[in-house]
Amino acid sequence: MNFASTFRSLFLGVAFAIAAVTASADNRQGGADIVDTAVAAGSFKTLVTAIQAAGLVDTLKGDGPFTVFAPTDEAFAKLPAGTLDALLKDKEALSKVLTYHVVAGKVMAADVKPGKVKTVQGQSLNITSGSYGVKVDPAKVVQTDIMASNGVIHVIDTVVLPQ
């Protein structure tokens, strides 16, 4: 074996060892949590701002697992004029609205069944399905199974409000 092939073998061995250690560290860290995943997506700026204003960042970065029905920026834009501003000024009301979008546990789209599902807020969301797809209260689910280290995000087109 010449120097070049010995060096290449040694280099590949070190590279594989580094890759294995990195993968192991990523598994321990679990990758991006729900908040970081939402930030990276780029279409949840309003949701992330609301999570920060409600003081829920640490909760949604916690162990979970959580299932989040995440309204897009466009969903927040559909709220009646002044509603979002009022919620951002009322931390308790904002927290109730946001936690109404969160279910304890990791529920993948394939596991969703029509019916009531209890939210972290305490009330239940109504899940329906039909030719229109899947709805959560009046919101249509437009994307499913966005994985995070501490749960899953399902994207909805409307902000759902507790009764």
pLDDT of 65-84, one tens digit each?
999 999 999 999 999 999 99
Q: Does one domain contain both 38 and 74?
A: yes
Q: Does one domain contain both 57 and 132?
A: yes
pLDDT value of residue 163: 85
Q: Does one domain contain both 43 and 1?
A: no
Structure tokens at 88: 């951002």
pTM, rounded to two decimals: 0.80
pLDDT value of residue 94: 97
Name the DSSP class of 100. Answer: T
Q: Does one domain contain both 3 and 82?
A: no
Q: Does one domain contain both 4 and 55?
A: no
Least confidently predicted of 23-37, 55-69, 81-95: 23-37
CATH of residue 57's domain is 2.30.180.10
Spacing of C-alpha 148 from chain mean position: 6
Name the DSSP class of 22. Answer: H
Q: Which of 30, 105, 31 is nearest to 68 (CA)?
A: 105
Number of C-beta neighbours around residue 120 at 10 A: 19
* Residue 92 is assigned to a structural domain of this protein: yes
Per the DSSP assignment, residues forming a β-bridge with 129 are 134
Task: Provide the percentage of residues in the chain whose pLDDT is more than 70.
Answer: 82
Q: Does one domain contain both 84 and 106?
A: yes
Q: Does one domain contain both 107 and 120?
A: yes
Q: Does one domain contain both 72 and 146?
A: yes
Q: 91: domain range?
A: 32-156
Q: Does one domain contain both 129 and 70?
A: yes
| 105-132 pLDDT tens trace | 999 999 988 999 999 999 999 999 989 8
Q: Does one domain contain both 1 and 37?
A: no
Number of residues written out for the chain: 163
Q: Does one domain contain both 24 and 48?
A: no
Rounded to an integer, the average pLDDT of 44-52 is: 97
Tell me which amino acid residue 162 is. Answer: P
Q: Which of 103, 94, 85 is nearest to 56 (CA)?
A: 94
Q: Does one domain contain both 25 and 53?
A: no
Q: How many domains does the chain have?
A: 2
End-to-end Cα, the chain, rounded Å: 75
Rounded to an integer, the average pLDDT of 35-46 is: 95
Query: Measured between alpha carbons, how far is 114 from 126 in angstroms, rounded to an integer?
Result: 7
Rounded to an integer, the average pLDDT of 155-163 is: 95
